[in-house]
Structure 1
Amino acid sequence: MRHEPAAVLLTVTVAMLGVVGTAMADSAPPAHPAYTSADFENYRPNAKAVTYAPGLVPVGSTATVFATPTPNGSTTVVLYVEGLLANHQYGAHVHQKHCGAAPEDAGAHYQNIPDPVQPSVNPAYANSQNEIWLDFTTDRHGNAWTVSSVNWQFTERHAGSVVIHAEHTHTDPGHAGTAGARLGCVSVDF
């Protein structure tokens, strides 16, 4: 069953805003929200969602990303996917750059406090509070949604995409933040 991504995200967003509450009404306005919804396709210039592994992220499957900063200085990112491989575990992270012809074009994971050693596999930097991790497991229809909240916002260093990986994210030293091959990418103007 195909859901309307906008309806799903509206429901989640209303719930998220309810959590923030009216106590923050007098706070300074947060940075802008970000939204992308697109079908995965083979790479072409200006494609919003690119598949690098059509067997696991099929052409025509869909990804929707919504990110919103909150008045208290945090950021919440929602990822909703449809039509991926059924009952499969995927990793997903916010990356530094927009999607490109090659999987590595999206750059490294966006880190609030960048690790001076790259690629970053140190759990002091490669963790779910310094990066935005959106791991998920699809249902029998290949659909899933996930939410990640961090206690920081994007500043002049904006991120550019959400990359879907082959497996859930590892946390052990020397492998922290890794999640296998890059299967697909969604460009987002965070």
Structure 2
Amino acid sequence: MSNNRLEFASELLGQPLAASEQVASLFPFKLSRFLTDRMRDGTYSLAAARQYLPDARELIEAPASIFDPCNEGSFKVADQVIQRYENRAALIATHHCLVYCRFCFRRDFVGYKESKIANDALESGVRYIEESPANRDVLLTGGDPLALPNRQLIPLLQRLSAIPHLKVIRVHSRALSVQPDRKRLGDALWLRA
């Protein structure tokens, strides 16, 4: 098998490399080393792997399903903050992931090199949560917050933890299943709580 992950994905799907390249040119493609190794040694099923592999069927246009299919834009209350419920909010901390899921409902902005959250936008989102005492629960999401380097993630979590009205901080991540060595951050942070 090829070392190139896109060639490897094409081989697994039994589709021409050109089709995989075309999909990857439109929508980000990324596999962690952990997943690639498991797929190569046969300990990760092809059925499960399909959620990460660029499939030529993604080229079939479905206009209503590509951009903001969950209508999150209408629930945006501040930079990087989505609030569907009165007592909880989602804070989008990054537009990057450890792997890119083919079914991502934020694929219009997640995973592109040019799609980076400005510090002032994230600051504005955190400030909104700090100034909104009705929020008892915050979901740190993205992208995948555990794709952030520790030098960014840890101060963000510490700041959220210091907000008196927040009772729950959830982290939406696929790290444990796609890059388990990232769990060491969790050992350092949450075992201290």
TM range (shorter): under 0.3
Q: Tell me the TM-score normalised to structure 2 length.
A: 0.25
Q: Tell me the TM-score normalised to structure 1 length.
A: 0.26
Bigger fraction of residues in strand: 1
Bigger fraction of residues in helix: 2
